[in-house]
Every structure is written in structure tokens, then in C-alpha cells.
Amino acid sequence: MIKIGRSFYDRDARIVAEDLIGKVLVRKYDEKTIKLRITETEAYIAEIDKASHGYGGKITPRTRIMFGPPGYAYVYFIYGMYYCLNFVTESEGICSAVLIRSGESLKNIDEICMNRYNKPLGDLSKAQIKNLTNGPGKLCSALKITKEHNGTDLTENEIFVEDDKFTDFCVEKTKRINIDYAEEAKDFLWRYILCK
């Protein structure tokens, strides 16, 4: 396993979003380690993207982290109930990020199940297993990621990405979802999905 360094994130968000597919997202807390294979991402580039929180150069307390250096977590709260994990990309002053939309459990699945449903894997229904980490809010719940993790350095040891050299997959590019308000940006093919 090779931990991804800061230079990986210091690139166009679209490239980072595609390159994150198949990598391993690691979450460490309370002497526990959870690992997921990243299976879906979305890129956001404020300069040309009306779906970005920083579109128009809007620096607010919420978006400030996205204008900072690459390789930090941007975590925000949505719909009054879900957290979403993003990775800040490109150089300081450029507002772009990658949303981590879903993943597949690789390590400590019972801990993931307890975080999501307060039940071990053996007690879950087929529907619960299917919906374990297949959305950004579900993924954050499964990994115990909240607003307090906004600004976490992705090169440290709490939330980070590893490369295990897994390559047995392809990447599908599609339109992003739930951004109908974003005018022409809703048609950008900036959603990346692992396919086998």
C-alpha cells in the first residue's frame, strides 16, 4: 500500500476524480481502521461550474477551505441531515474539489455496519447491505465523518487514500446528479464510476 501524497491532489479536479476511482479510502479513529475502495466521484471546478459552492469566486466561511492548498478535506452538511466528504484539489487560490460519492467495504465491515445501522453485518437485510456506502451521506455515516473533519489534512493519518495497485476495472463518465439548478454545468460529464 502506498499513501497518496499532496502532489496527487495538486491537479485538475477532473483528473483527480478519475484517478481516485479504484483507490482505497482509509479512516482511522479509536484504534480502529476502516477501508473502502472508492467507486464513485464527482469533480467540481468553481471557475466554470455553477454547481460548485465557490462559483463566482465566493469565499465564505464554508468555502474557504476549497480556496486553500490541495490535499485537505472539505466536509459540508446537506439537507439538514447528511455530511459530504470532498477532497480539495489544485493550487492554493483555485477553488476545486472532488466529492467522494460511494465506496465498497474492504476492511472492518462490521464496524462500518455498526456505524450505519447499529447492527453487525449478519443482522442486516439485503437492502441495508446494498445501501451501506452507496451515497456520499451514507459513506460519511459509515466512516464517522462529520463537520469536525472539515480541514483534515489528507496526508496525515486520520483520513487518507492509499494505492494498492488495483487496476482490474474501467471508469464510466456520466453527468453529475442532483444539480439541475446548475444550468449548462448539469450536463458536464464529471461523474466517474467504477465499472468491471
Residues 29-48: tens digit of each pLDDT: 999 999 999 999 999 999 99
- Strands 82-88 and 96-107 come out as antiparallel
155-166 pLDDT tens trace? 999 999 999 999
Specify if 68 maps to a domain: yes
- The CATH number for 120's domain is 3.10.300.10
The predicted structure's pLDDT at residue 95: 95
The grid cell for 175 is 453527468
Cell of 152: 483534515
The answer to whether residue 195 sits within a structural domain is no
Number of structural domains (the chain) is 1
DSSP tag of 1 = -
pLDDT at 129 over 90: yes
Does residue 127 fall inside a structural domain? Answer: yes
- 170-184 pLDDT, tens digit per residue, is 999 999 998 999 999
Adjacent-strand bridge partners of 113: none
* Cell numbers placing 55: 462559483
pTM, entire model: 0.95
Which amino acid does the sequence have at 162?
E
Residue 194: inside a domain: no
Which percentage of the chain shows pLDDT scores above 90? 93
Q: List alpha helices for the chain, DSSP H.
A: 6-9, 13-20, 109-117, 126-130, 136-143
Distance CA 160, CA 143 (A): 12
Residue 173 falls within a domain, yes or no? yes
How far apart CA 136 and CA 153 sit, in angstroms, is 19
Residue 56's pLDDT is: 87
Calpha distance 42→175 (Å, rounded): 9
Q: Is residue 18 part of a domain?
A: yes
Look at residue 196 and tell me if it is in a domain.
Answer: no
Which residues span the domain enclosing 118? Answer: 2-188
The verdict on residue 193 lying in a domain is no
* 186 pLDDT higher than 90: yes
Four-point Cα dihedral 30, 83, 136, 185, nearest 10? -150
